[in-house]
Structure 1
Amino acid sequence: MTIQSGRPTPNTSLNTWPLPAGLRARLMREHGWTEAFAVQAETEYRRFVYLATLGRSVTPSPAVDEVWHTHLMFTRDYWGGFQALLPAPLHHEPGTDTPGDAARLREQYLDTLLLYERTFGEAAPADCWPRPALTEAQAQRPTPAAGLWGWVGAALLGFGGTLLTGTPLFLLLTALVFGLLAVLLGRQKGHVTPTATAGAGGLFFFMGADSAGTDTGSGGSDSGGSDGGSCGSSCGGGCGS
């Protein structure tokens, strides 16, 4: 969902702070973004910054992270008036490539998506905040629902055929054929719905294969596609963290 409101966060000063002249043009030039996508990414960056003020470490999407990286280069603005809008300095923390760091950032990204929805009352727009892609093993596993209903349908069809023909062999062959078809279709579609826990309170974030790693095309090649399954950037941060 694209945010149309001029008040993207509860922090009015953060909403109206003019980002540095040249920042948007640089993003469009370096990443092939359209102006509409760059404007949206700036809005999502403001929302990310607000989430970072809520006392938790957060991880941006790749597109939001690009806005953050670019803003950091305008040091007078970033470490000047912009930081004065926040309760504490917002530090940028790149990944360390140590064992477990990628998994930590992935979970933190999922937690950020949950925090986003709870804070703003709507899901983060997928073109700026892509959902994590399924692993290859998950994509090859058929859905339990597809397999179950395939076998139920085969049983009903076979039972009806047996009544009509009086041949038990018809039931066996029908069950085998339709059962196999159901399994194959389930594998091909790959509609697995894994869950990932994130944050306190035992909350769950549900992910579908349809939207995983999807590039809508609105922002060019760097508008937030898959980055090998995590979809979050390799950076994190938080105010005062």
Structure 2
Amino acid sequence: MNVLMEFIHGFRRLHFVGPCVTFFGSARFEENHPIYHSTRALAGAVAELGFTVMTGGGAGLMEAANRGAKDVGGRSVGCNISLPSPQAVNRYLDKWVTIRYFFIRKTLLIKYSFAFIVLPGGFGTLDEFFEAVTLTQTKKILQFPIIIFDRAFHEELLRHLDHMIEAGTISREDLELIVVADEIPVIIDFLRRQSIEKFLLQPEVKRLPRQWLFEKA
């Protein structure tokens, strides 16, 4: 019952966020780090396309992405996680929800998104990345773009993916789901073609909340 109520809480809170691009990334990068600045710029460009920027709602690169969206007047949302050492939400969010269970949080981060951008990060970021790849590979969700940002940081990961192909544990076609790019104009063009045009995305039409689901605008 707790799990069901948590899902309902998340769906109610995030129902009207519109088409999102979700940024997966570490909470540990400080504001003065170059990747913070490049993430902020990338998120701003994504928001200017009309997407809502979604993150895990915390500090570091999550904050940078949310901040970038706010820089250009875009919409910024977060799906925070409740931890033994509380993770405060960043101050660049229009709307957020705090979730107790990681698997529910991942569902919410993926449910509303038409693309995923993987930033430098740790175990949690890789968990989210492989969740999105697996769901796309197995056609549990549509083939939304998955973009790895910062090739230098992810060099070992990319090498390991090649090793998995050589070992026969994945196919080369599986890597067609993933794009590696460092240039913001390249990423924006890719999102325009593979998300907006491919899925015929339109500006969100405002709907009234459905009271029987206890939805809130």
Whether TM-score is above 0.5 comes out as: no
In our comparison, the structure showing a higher alpha carbon Rg is 1
In terms of fraction of residues, the more strand-rich structure is: 2
In terms of fraction of residues, the more helix-rich structure is: 1
Does 1 or 2 have the higher relative contact order (CA < 8 Å, sep 6+)? Answer: 1
TM-score (norm 1): 0.28
